[in-house]
Amino acid sequence: MVALARLAREYGNGPMQIREIAEEEKIPQSFLENILLDLRKMGILGSQLGKAGGYFLLKKPSDVNLADIIRHFEGTLSLLYCVSENAYRPCEFCKDESTCRIRGVFKEIRDTTYRILNKATLETLIRR
């Protein structure tokens, strides 16, 4: 998220080299390379080869929401798989999901988390 926030601050200023982002944000370069490649495959980043090359945001910072990014890298926003929309798995201990009080609380947490992260964008991060 730190690298994305950096690229959002530089939106419209051309590509940034991985080395520069890694050094300034204190992120291991090999780790950052994998993350940026994943974000390029998602269609969030573009890349340019050459001496003046690097990575850049393809979308406006206001068009990239945090829910999509977290879901991509973490797989789910849910704390329990039985309330996940994208990675649902039944709870092995639950006898009846429809009456499970624990599930109800965690579903509410997931729904609230989703609403907040879906509304929050890279622009939100850089304006704070």
Same domain, 32 and 87: no
The answer on 93 and 47 residing in a single domain is no
Per-residue pLDDT, 116: 93
Q: Alpha carbon of 47 to those of 41, 78, 122: distances in Å?
A: 11, 32, 18
Q: Are residues 44 and 67 in the same domain?
A: no
> By residue range, what is the domain housing residue 38?
2-57
Q: Can you give the pLDDT at residue 49? A: 87
Tens-place pLDDT, residues 12-33: 899 999 999 999 989 998 899 9
55 three-state secondary structure: strand
**Beta strands per DSSP E along the chain:** 45-48, 54-57
Report the alpha-carbon distance of residue 108 to residue 51 in Å, rounded. 49
- Distance of alpha carbon 80 from the chain centroid: 19
- What pTM value is reported for the model? 0.78
Q: Encode pLDDT of 34-81 as tens digits.
A: 999 999 999 999 998 888 789 999 999 999 999 999 988 888 888 888
